[in-house]
Amino acid sequence: MRMKTRTLFLSLGIALLTASCGGGSTTSQPASDAAADTTAKTACTNFKLGTGVNVSHWLSQSDSRGEERANQITKKDFDSIAAMGFDHVRLPIDEVQMYDENMNRHEEAFALMKNAIDWTLENNMNIIIDLHIIRSFHFNARPGENTLFQKPGEKEKLIAIWKDLQSFLKDYPNDRLAYELLNEAIAPSHEELNELEARLIASIRETEPERTIIVGSNWQQSVETIQYLKVPENDKNLILSFHYYNPILVTHYRAHWTVQKKYDGKIQYPGLAIEDTSFYASLPADTLAYFRRCNQNYDINVMEQEILPAIKKGEEYGLQVYCGEFGVFPEYIDKETRMKWYRDITTIFKKHNINNAHWCYKGDFPVVNTDGSPNDLPAILLEK
């Protein structure tokens, strides 16, 4: 299974690194073009979020198909998510799973998405359909591989994808299901992303004026770039999203897909992530620059200060702010350090009323054990 990865750790080059181192209806509606009686559709614009999880590596970032994919996530999983106390699911989906290259639907994938929505609503949870990866954009692509902002017609194709998704999803209640335009977008400039998101919002609003749409800023929905995010000022059915994984040396300690994968020395939080930097002498120049940039002092106050721009942006527009991803890769880091980070980030969320979704459910940053039982995270994530 492919892991959730961060563009910061691939071969984009150190020069490109950003400071990222630093209630309503509970009845599901049929999801089809000839869908159910629209008079039953809820007109409520108050899409509510609290604490949720990402159901990842299923309809996104996975090569599984057929019976293997169908059995990977089932109703039992959604029942379990609700039983633990989570109130919503963020469901990543990829273009390659949902459509062929001619924009024909893969009906099996659409059926699984419908199941996920129905199981979510049956459990009185809400759901976000997150367009995670498209053929013209992957948040971890190498330089030159993404064509969304370079190749003519790709932006129009993204708009067409959302038009088709809308035709499938439009009859679900507005207060139960939301759309997330594109995960962790990276555009040549902030303005180019703002313009594309404005086009997507306008296209969706042609037929769904009250659907909640989740929007993120440039460079992977970073708190460092959210100050540059611009959205339509008269649209109150938007939620502003950011992702948070700082300090990256801690949250991705020894993660095998990262630049830092070979560092197996001591790591700590709070404080300076790596105190003994004698290993710097053996590093190539680009890796050395990465470690020097990312090895900073972090504690709850530093994290709160980094997140404040997102809070201020929400206040500027009078919109909800949402952390759609956060977490610590658990495989190698000691439990005490990991739990300190989780306690601090959830304290910040509660202090500032930031709704959030943990990355993830049972993928690479799980909230369950291998037998499906809750691990030690839900108690912290859901503590009131």
What percentage of the chain reaches a pLDDT higher than 90? 86
CA-to-CA distance for 130 and 182, rounded, in angstroms?
A: 7
Pick the closest to residue 238 from 128, 97, 107 (CA basis).
Answer: 128
pLDDT digits (tens, 9 = 90+) for 246-276: 999 999 999 999 999 999 999 999 999 999 9
Q: Name the residue ranges covered by the structural domains of the chain.
A: 7-18+47-381
Chain position carrying tokens 């504690």: 299
pLDDT at 33 over 70: no
In contact, 149 and 14? CB cutoff 8 Å: no
pTM, whole model, 2 decimals? 0.89
Please give the pLDDT value at position 66. 96
pLDDT at 6 over 80: no
User: Distances from the Cα of 169 to the Cαs of 40, 72, 165, 292, in angstroms?
Assistant: 14, 23, 6, 46
In contact, 217 and 225? CB cutoff 8 Å: yes
| Mean pLDDT of all residues in 336-357 | 98
pLDDT digits (tens, 9 = 90+) for 209-246: 999 999 999 999 999 999 999 999 999 999 999 999 99
Please give the pLDDT value at position 46. 85
Please give the pLDDT value at position 290. 97
In contact, 38 and 187? CB cutoff 8 Å: no
Chain position carrying tokens 């980070």: 341
14-20 long-range contacts, CB within 8 A, separation 24+: 14/286, 14/289, 14/290, 14/293, 16/143, 17/290, 17/293, 18/219, 18/220, 18/222, 18/224, 18/225, 19/222, 19/224, 20/219, 20/220, 20/222, 20/224, 20/245, 20/246, 20/248
Please give the pLDDT value at position 24. 33
In contact, 346 and 272? CB cutoff 8 Å: no
Query: Which token pair is 274?
Result: 């790596």
The matching CATH number, chosen from 3.30.1360.120, 3.20.20.80, 3.40.1480.10, 3.40.50.80, for 7-18+47-381 is 3.20.20.80
pLDDT-derived band at 21, boundaries 50, 70, 90: low
Query: Which token pair is 3?
Result: 């892991």
Find the helix or strand (DSSP H, E) in which 294 lies: helix 285-294
